[in-house]
Amino acid sequence: MSRKLITGLKILLFTAVAVFFLFLAFREVHLSDLVHELKNADYSWVLLSLFFAALAFVSRAMRWIILIEPLGYKPSLKNTFYALMSGYLANFLLPRIGELTRCGSLNRTDGVPVDALLGTVIIDRFFDVIILIILLAVVFVVKIDFFGEFITDRLFIPFLDRLSFSALIWVPAVFFILIIAVLFFFIRKKLLKNRMFSFIDSTARGILSGMRTLFRMRKKWQFIGHTLFIWLMYFLMTWVVFFSLPFTSHLRPVDALFLLVIGGMGMSAPVQAGIGAYHWIVSLGLTLYNIPRQEGVVFATITHESQALLMILLGTFSVIMIFIQQKRSGKEVLSGRSDTESSFIIGKET
């Protein structure tokens, strides 16, 4: 089976999942009412939300540079931002392919090895998961009586049920992988003579090298500061959208924290850029405040689609800028060669 066919099948599969979640979110929604509510929203608050999102993107790029520096490279903030946004754009095609895309983009502009960059991205995502878990704990502590039932009964219990069912498949699979890993360790030298295994080994070493940057960071406090700032911006960009709609304007900051947490779960779903999953889970969460699903979908649509539009615009701009840089650098190389050849010819004639 060709690689293009496999990629096409993956896109169709994830798109089908996204459509399923969209169906769950919009099945009780009247299109005319949705359009009416969207037209009457106060988009000045949405623009402020996008401003906070843009600040978070810049801070995330700066945090990524801090992780890359121990590798012996210091890419420019401009190129790092372009790489990050091109990755976000790629996520609209296939979920999580953006992690590879941004590594490949920064490799092309600054020459940082892709495998080492993958290690830094793993660390980057690990800290996001940690912050999400901490915020989830805060939500439990602050309003356990209000949020606890929704999170446990509608999110965790169904998830654990699926996990226990899939354990029949995953446990043997993990055990099999461990056996393969042990066998690989003992016969590694013989396998490395094979070109494919040699490539896998070098790639794994590069990823581990990138992950070790966590322990070699010189700017640990700056890294922590950027992490806190990023999530503060995420919180603010969720909260201010409340004021764009009359039926959410009464909600408090702690409610924005709750929606940020469950919205983060929706964005982590195996669909392109959280499409459908975000709308479904956020509109479902808003029903706890006696906000009908119709109005909850309006809020989710404004929040998600405004952020999606920002990522698409910045991502497209970034891809164009990377392409222009590549084209310019190619011309400079050719120009340099031409000058060298000309001086050689002149010298030869004299």
Count Cβ atoms within 10 A of the Cβ of residue 21 and give its class: 0-12 exposed, 13-18 middle, 19 or more buried. buried
Segments in the chain forming alpha helices (H): 3-26, 31-39, 43-68, 77-90, 97-110, 114-149, 157-186, 188-191, 195-211, 213-216, 220-239, 253-267, 277-286, 293-349
Cα 300 from Cα 131, distance rounded (Å): 22
Cα 33 from Cα 24, distance rounded (Å): 17
pLDDT tens for each residue of 232-245? 999 999 999 999 99
User: Where does the pLDDT of residue 165 fall: very low under 50, low under 70, confident under 90, or very high at 90 and above?
Assistant: very low
Contact 315, 85 (CB under 8 A): yes
Residue 251 DSSP symbol: -
Cα 216 from Cα 209, distance rounded (Å): 10
347 has a pLDDT exceeding 50 = no
For 249, list phi and psi in degrees, rounded to 5: -65, -20
What single string gives the DSSP state of each residue in 65-88?
A: HHHHGGGT----HHHHHHHHHHHH
pLDDT tens for each residue of 275-315? 888 999 899 889 888 899 889 999 999 999 999 999 999 99
What single string gives the DSSP state of each residue in 163-219?
A: HHHHHHHHHHHHHHHHHHHHHHHHTHHHHTTSHHHHHHHHHHHHHHHHHTHHHH-S-
Long-range contacts of 153-160 (CB under 8 A, 24+ apart): 154/284, 155/262, 155/265, 155/281
Top mean pLDDT of 112-121, 147-156, 201-210, 265-274 is at: 112-121
Cα 245 from Cα 242, distance rounded (Å): 6
Predicted local confidence at residue 231, as pLDDT: 95
Residue 243 DSSP symbol: G
Cα 205 from Cα 115, distance rounded (Å): 8
* Global pTM exceeds 0.85: no
pLDDT tens for each residue of 17-58? 778 878 878 887 888 888 889 999 999 999 999 999 999 999
Query: Domain coordinates of the chain in residue numbers?
Result: 13-327
191-210 mean pLDDT: 56
Contact 266, 277 (CB under 8 A): yes
Count Cβ atoms within 10 A of the Cβ of residue 344 and give its class: 0-12 exposed, 13-18 middle, 19 or more buried. exposed
